[in-house]
Amino acid sequence: MSIEISVLESEKVIVSRLSGRLTDMDLLDAQDYFENKVTWSDGTAELIDLSNADLAAATTRLMPELAERFEAFFDNAGVETARVALCSPNDLQFGMSRVFETWAKRSSIATFATFRDWESADLWLRSSESLPDSG
């Protein structure tokens, strides 16, 4: 597993790229890594790029825990609103991301949305749209 995080300070966008073979524990480890590397504030958005991630070894079993960790992270950072786009081009990535999005929607802090391409995800993050076209 590889994680690359870049922050576009002027645009208040965090880009997280996950690549390689990912297991359930890798996804939780990625969240821990993110929490230790990123400072989040209101108005910041994140684009999680799974384009080069192999999710064949991951399951949906820990998705509720992962969603709770995101919620706790935002709460501890004092964030009142957040937008997170997941770029998931292939069917497995997209399906797993949508399962996570369903669990994450229980959060009142963050709005998560899944997209098949980077451009749509980026456009949604920078827009004022509340509901994405995730098709």
pLDDT digits (tens, 9 = 90+) for 24-48: 999 999 988 888 888 888 888 999 9
Contacts of 108 (CB under 8 A, 6+ apart): none
DSSP label of 26: H
Note the pLDDT tens digit of each residue in 54-77. 999 999 999 999 999 888 888 888
**Mean pLDDT of the 6-21 span:** 86
The top-scoring range by mean pLDDT among 1-10, 92-101, 103-112, 118-127 is 92-101
Low-confidence winner among 16-20, 35-39, 50-54 (lowest mean pLDDT): 35-39
In 3D space, the residue among 120, 38, 50 whose CA is nearest the CA of residue 82 turns out to be 38
Mean pLDDT of the chain: 87
C-alpha dihedral sign at 86, 89, 90, 94: positive
**Mean pLDDT of the 113-125 span:** 94
Q: Which residues pair with 43 in a beta bridge?
A: none
